[in-house]
Amino acid sequence: MLAIVFSLLSGIGFAIGLVISGMTNPKKVIGFLDIFGAWDYSLAFVMVGAIGTSFFLFRYFVKRNPVCGGEHFLPTKTEVDKKLITGSAMFGIGWGLTGICPGPGIVNLVTRNSNALIFVGSMIVGMIIYQIAEKSGVIK
């Protein structure tokens, strides 16, 4: 039960951070990504703050026992492969075209905006298609 409470509180904190930083506003995100046009550099401060905070806190907490749960689940894969490159490219293209990535897309569901509903629905369909393709051997 403690793990569920911590997960819920972490998710709420993350959602509030996304809203305060402007990451849930697709126009602001597209403005940040438009470095050769009307570039909105304000999200760079958000990125630097998040990277800096995460860098130090991750190094601190990974050396300690988890607050809830039995272990830390850290990635073990170290090589760059076709799946990583393809997934990263698809993520970047989708983010650049829509100004929305998965976290802010889910947070935007509370607005009941049709764009958020379409985005999250498409994301779910994409995950289902990926799972089917992986199980059938199309993706290796």
Residue 44 inside a domain? The answer is yes
Q: What's the domain range around 99?
A: 2-135
Say what the pTM is.
Answer: 0.70
Phi first, then psi: what are they for 90, rounded to 5°? -65, -40
Is 140 part of any domain?
no
Domain-located, residue 61: yes
Whether 105 maps to a domain, the answer reads yes
Decide if 47 is inside a domain: yes
Tens of pLDDT along 77-110?
Answer: 889 988 889 889 988 888 888 888 888 888 888 8
Q: Does residue 34 lie in a domain region?
A: yes
3-state secondary structure (DSSP) of residue 3: helix
Q: Express each pLDDT in 12-58 by its tens digit.
A: 998 898 888 888 888 888 888 888 888 888 888 988 988 999 899 88
Domain count for the chain: 1
